[in-house]
Each structure stands twice: as structure tokens, then as C-alpha cells.
Chain A
Amino acid sequence: MSGDVVVLGAGMHPWGKWGRSFVEYGRAAAAAALADAGLDWRDVQSVVGADTVRGGYPGYVAGATFARALGWQGARVTSVYAACASGAQAISTARAQILAGLAEVVLVVGADAAPKGFFAPAGGDRPDDPDWLRFRVLGATNPAYFGLYARRRMALHGDTPEDFARVKVKNSAAGALNPYARYRTAVSAQEVAASPLVADPLRLLDICATSDGGAALVLAGADFARARGITDPVRIRAVSTVTPTYPRTLLDLPDIATDSAAGLLPEGARDSFRSSIARAAYEEAGIGPEDLSLAEVYDLSTALELQWYEDLGLCGPGEGAELVREGATALGGRIPVNTSGGLASFGEAVPAQAIAQVCELTWQLRGTAGDRQVAGARVGITANQGLFGHGSAVVAVR
């Protein structure tokens, strides 16, 4: 079997606060991806939608919702949900269908319309739902968890708020060059420091916003691409959708407590879930961190981006801040991270985000990323993690 699936088309709807339905954003992104692929929607044999929990019933059946919006044409349909990792699950599903010979061309779409402010749990009294409990019992918002991780890094590794601000400065500089980003203005370290504290030690500009947006990919088998005369397409080499292993000893959203670590090695010597996400992707792709040209990581907060450097193996444990200090992860650096501008420049449109990460890899690997272009980009990885134990990483090559 040829294990590669190719990216024929990538498309996005600009991120922002547009106040319209997620269906519009997804449909626009899908149309852009199809145009990029040079295909008609009626050529698509399967559509996979990444669900949103904020759009009512149409959000829970996103695949069918987008198919209807594009015009029913009989394609096979799938809808998937895995919180922030929904997009990776959609890509994984599409890839599996192609590799299994169930479809030659698959459209993957994710879109969201997010409310202003903190994400909140679904309504009603649900004392069996950890996501409801963390709000009811503790008032523990997502930024509260980001604050805990940031403070832990400061205590363990000596990171400073200035290091966290460097991530925002770097990502906002890249986002200023991206027409799809919501925030397109460079931000200074002084501006980060002057923004209000949200969850000590993190400030407003350390934490990603919640946004409207949509992203889509047209994926196909290698034979289909060859038959259309496409000789050197971007290829998806790995999709990691792993779960944690028991006992899970690192506190994570939306949990109130970890599993017991009694009898285990000290924290620093234990494998983290995030690093296992990357390892699975590297093993499937047959590459290592030294092969990467760039990475797109889920910078829900500035401090979390530094954690991803370590979990992806771009540096050793505790060395993340050093990488951003020396400029290694900036455009023009040794291993640019979040060349798109990251969540810092986009804000989170949950089911679109993992797909948008792969859009950025596609443009970078094609050499069409404009002023954000990483010279000679050949290999990229995306990394992300969804609530309730969803790993997400994609390796793309050209």
C-alpha cells in the first residue's frame, strides 16, 4: 500500500468576530479548498465535518450541514468531535477512507462561531460531567489551567513573564503577515506586560482569544493526484490521534485531579501525554524532530507554546524559553514555530484549528506562504490536544 495521502487543496475563511453562522465560514473555506484543488464539489466522494458544540444540532452533524450548504450531491458523510482535536480526527477519518479505497477524493471541513469571553460548559445541572463540575465547584476556566502550567514552568525551569511575552511578540509578527489571521498587528513586549492579569501569571495578551473561522482541505489518494498530472504534491505522512496512558499524572483540562502517581518515577522522568502525541506522529512518519522545517503548535497560551517545544523534542526538558530567547522559533530562525501566527494571532475556532494548522503546512511546503515563507520547507508537523484525552498531530512532507 502507498501510505501517502496528498493535499490537493487548502482553504480558509478569515478568522475574526464576524457574527454569522459557522456554516457560512465552513462553506466558504470548502469552496476555497475546492478551487485550490481545481475540483468541483460534485467530484468529492466523501465529506468529513469537524463538529462544533456551539451551533446547535447542525453543529453536531457538521459533515451533513456542510454537504447541504454546498448542495446535496450524494457523497458519503461523516461528522466527528474531539474538542480542539476535532480537525485532526476529521483528517484521520478522510485519510483512512482514502487508504482503504472507500473514496478517492475527500473534503474535510471545520468551522466555528465562538461567543465572546470564557468558554462555558453546556447548560443544565450535570454533576456527572467533569467540565460542568470544574466550573460549578472551582470556577476553573480554561485560562486558570493555562495559569497553573505557566506558574509551574516558572518554578521548575525559571521561565519569566518576559519569556512568555516573547512568544506573543514572535507570533504576532508572523500573524501580521497572514491575511487569514484575526489579529494582524505586531505586539510589543511592553504591550503584553501592560495588558491586565487574567490568571496569574498570565495576562490578556498571553492567552488566545475565541474566534469565528473556518478551514478546509481536499485530500486524495496518490494515484488520483498522479492521474491529474500532479507530480510533487504535499503529502500527509502521519496523523497521530493517540489517547493518554494510565495513570495520567499531569493535571489537564477539564479534570479536577490527576490519577495517583504513587510508586511512579518523579514527574520530570515520566513521559507526558503531549510528548506521546508527537512521538506517535514521528514514528508513523519515520522522521524525528531534527528533520523538521517548521511546526505549528497549539499556543492556547504563550507559556504552553514553550511546553510544546519540549514535547516535540525541539529542545530538551526545561529549555523551551531558551529557544524563544535566541530566536530559533521565529521566522528566519533554526526551527520556526507557528509561522501562521498561531492561536495568538487567530484566536481559537475549535473545530477549524487543527485543519488550519495543516493549511499552513501546505502553503509552506508548496512555497506559497508569501512573506511568511520558510525557505526550502520540506517537512512540517502540527501538534494539538483536545479536552478529555485527544491527541492530535499531523506530519506533512513534500
Chain B
Amino acid sequence: MGSVVERTRKPVVHGWFTQTTGSAAEGFRLLGTKCGGCGAVFFPREDAFCRNPGCAGGDLTEVPLSPRGRVWSYTDGRYRPPAPYVSDPEAPWEPYTLVAVELEAERMVVLGQAAPGIGAADLAVGMEMEVVPGVLNEDAGTTWTTWHFRPVGVDA
């Protein structure tokens, strides 16, 4: 039908996570960078310099981050955040859940929105989570993709 809009899928930020097609969670990973000099891993990625003050410097190469981690903390947004967060001002505000997850190997805490349908009441500190592909928002021509966290063992 003519009403079907063909949207291009684009990551909300380039290079922060692997590209996927559809909603397949298989193989989806956050992407960081690793310093060849000291082994430090950075997310969001540092491509220009290593931030370890004890490191003489080294090449920074892209690395996938642990697909799983544990809830460090969580909260939600009961009120519409200001721009540049995109939301339809005409639509009633739907709270979203924010989760801070400590990634398994890197032991860095990464913030992300929870997958749709996961509320604060579904979460607990220490719960095992996995990173999955998600959609942040859609506009006329684009589906803006992002990462979401969801409890391990919960189907999308």
C-alpha cells in the first residue's frame, strides 16, 4: 500500500554498536576501543587518544564489549525529557526505564534504556542483563537504532 513508509535504519551514534538487520539479537554488541599500549578499554569509544595517565600511548582499535553484565542500578523517566531527546509532544508521555549495567569482562558501568515493556519493577540490582538491538525513535525517512538492555532469559 502507498501508506507504507520505507525508512532507512541508521544508528543514533555511528560506531557505538554493531549494525544488525531486523531485531535479531544474535551477535549484537556494543563497540568500544582498546589501547594497544596499556590495554584500557573505552566506551563511548576513544579513537584519538588513550586516557590512562600512566600510558605512553598506543593504537586504539575497535573491540566488541561483553554482551552481558549485571544491573548496577536502574531508574525511570516519569516526565518527558527536553530536546535533543525526541518524542512526540502530541502523544501522552510513556515513561521509559534506564538501566546501568556493569559489563562482565570490562567491569565498566554502561547506561542504556531497557527494552520496551521492561519497567523498574521488573529489575533488581545484580540481575543478569544482555544487550540487544533497539529502536530509539522514527522520523519521516529514518529508523534511529540504539542498544537496549533486557534481563537474560526474557524473550524480546
Bitwise, A284-298 to B at CB < 8 A (1) or not (0) is: 000000000000000
Most buried by B among A125, A141, A202: A141
Of B44, B51, B111, which one neighbours A251 at CB under 8 angstroms?
B111
Q: Are A258 and B85 in contact (CB under 8 A)?
A: no
Q: Does B107 contact A (CB under 8 A)?
A: yes
**B43 near A257: Cβ-Cβ < 8 Å:** yes
Q: Determine if A41 is an interface residue (Cβ-Cβ < 8 Å).
A: no
Whether A140 touches B96, Cβ cut-off 8 Å, given contacts A118-B82, A151-B125, A200-B120, is no
User: B112, A138: Cβ atoms under 8 Å?
Assistant: yes
Quick one: which of A117, A139, A152 contacts B85, CB cutoff 8 A? A139
Interface size on B, residues (CB 8 A): 44
Contact A199 B75 (CB under 8 A): yes
**How many residues belonging to A are interface residues under a CB distance threshold of 8 Å?**
45
Contacts of A128-150 to chain B: CB distance below 8 A: 130, 132-141, 144, 147-150
**Restricting to B82-102, which residues have a CB under 8 Å from any CB of A?**
82-87, 96, 98, 100
A189-223 toward B: CB 8 Å interface, digit per residue (1/0)? 00000001111111000000000000000000000
Query: Chain B residues with Cβ under 8 A from A261's Cβ?
Result: 107-108
Partner of B76, one of A117, A150, A200, A260: A200
- Is A147 in contact with B111, judged by CB distance below 8 angstroms? no
Whether B126 sits at the interface, judged by CB under 8 Å, is yes
**Chain B positions 109-136 with a Cβ under 8 Å from a chain A Cβ:** 109-113, 120, 124-126, 136
Chain A neighbourhood of B81, CB < 8 A? 118, 135, 139-141
> Hey, what's the 0/1 contact readout for B35-74 against A, CB within 8 Å counting as 1?
0000011111000000111100000000000000000111
- Chain B contacts of A201 at CB under 8 A? 75
Q: How far is the CA of A138 from the CA of B73 in the complex (A)?
A: 15
Are B98 and A138 neighbours in the complex by a CB distance under 8 Å?
yes
Q: Is A127 an interface residue (CB 8 A)?
A: yes
On whether the beta carbons of B12 and A135 are closer than 8 Å, the reply is no
Complex-state Cα separation, A136 to B72, whole angstroms: 22
- Indicate with 1 or 0, residue by residue over A249-281, a CB within 8 angstroms of chain B CB atoms: 101000011111110100000000000000000
Contact of A199 among B12, B77, B87, B113 (CB under 8 A): B77
Distance A197 CA – B126 CA, assembled complex (angstroms) = 23
Which residues of A are found within 8 Å of B106, using beta-carbon distances? Answer: 260, 262
- A121 and B8 CA atoms in complex are apart in Å by 28
Known pairs A121-B84, A257-B44; A140 contacts B109 (CB<8 A): no
Chain B: which residue is nearest A156 at the CB level?
A: B125
A200: chain B residues at CB < 8 Å are 74-76, 78, 120
Asked if A258 and B73 sit within 8 Å, CB to CB, the answer is: no
Point out the residues of chain B lying under 8 angstroms from A375, CB to CB.
Answer: none
In the complex, are the beta carbons of A148 and B98 less than 8 A apart? yes
Flag whether A230 is at the interface (Cβ < 8 A).
no
What residues of chain B lie closer than 8 Å to A150, measured between beta carbons? Answer: 75
Q: Decide: A135 and B136 in contact? CB cutoff 8 A.
A: no
Given contacts A118-B82, A121-B84, A135-B84, contact A262 B107 (CB under 8 A): yes
CB of A155 closer than 8 Å to a CB of B: yes
The reply to whether the CB of B13 lies closer than 8 angstroms to some CB of chain A is yes
Q: How far is the CB of A205 from chain B (nearest CB, A)?
A: 14
> Chain A residues near B112 (CB, 8 Å)?
138
> Complex formed: what's the CA distance from A63 to B98 in Å?
39
Shortest 4 CB-CB distances between A and B: which pairs? Answer: A147-B75, A155-B125, A120-B82, A139-B81
9 CB-based A-B contacts, threshold 8 Å: A117-B82, A120-B82, A127-B13, A138-B85, A138-B111, A141-B81, A144-B75, A147-B98, A251-B109
